[in-house]
């Protein structure tokens, strides 16, 4: 039982490049989330998926897109990376919104 897994762990991009962050959970949770965390700031929700087939914008969706591929997988795509997107990205899942289980995070640096 791996919980929530994320790939890659680290990534360096140049401005304008694109990439997809992958997330998978094996807890059969309905809801999945993508957050970013910047120094001195709390977790900010980028997008979430309350259930398979649905996605909704969070607090900071600009510059990102998501895909809920199936119940297990929820990916985050940066189409044209910008330095302001340098951050740590966490994926989380939950059965209800309360107890969210987090992946190990992806550290992204955009030059």
Partner 1 sequence: QKEVEQNSGPLSVPEGAIASLNCTYSDRGSQSFFWYRQYSGKSPELIMSIYSNGDKEDGRFTAQLNKASQYVSLLIRDSQPSDSATYLCAVPPDSNYQLIWGAGTKLIIKP
Binding site for partner 1 (CB under 8 A): 31, 40-45, 48, 50, 58, 90, 96-100, 102-105
CA distance 63 to 58: 12
Task: Output 9 or 18, the one with its CB closest to partner 1.
Answer: 9
Task: Output 42 or 53, the one with its CB closest to partner 1.
Answer: 42
What would the two tokens of residue 67 be?
């895909």
Largest CA distance in the chain: 37
Quote the least distance from Cβ 16 to partner 1, whole Å.
29
Name residues whose C-beta falls within 8 Å of residue 84's C-beta, 6 or more positions apart in sequence: 63, 110
Quote the least distance from Cβ 10 to partner 1, whole Å.
12
């Amino acid at each position: 039982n791996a919980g929530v897994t994320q790939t890659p762990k680290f990534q360096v991009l140049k401005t304008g490049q694109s990439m997809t962050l992958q997330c998978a959970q094996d807890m059969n949770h309905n809801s999945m989330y993508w957050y970013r965390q910047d120094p001195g700031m709390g977790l900010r929700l980028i997008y979430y998926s309350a259930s398979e087939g649905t996605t909704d914008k969070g607090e900071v969706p600009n510059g990102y897109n998501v895909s809920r591929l199936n119940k297990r997988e929820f990916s985050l795509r940066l189409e044209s990376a910008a330095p302001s997107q340098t951050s740590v990205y966490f994926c989380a899942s939950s059965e209800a919104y309360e107890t969210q289980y987090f992946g190990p995070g992806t550290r992204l640096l955009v030059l």
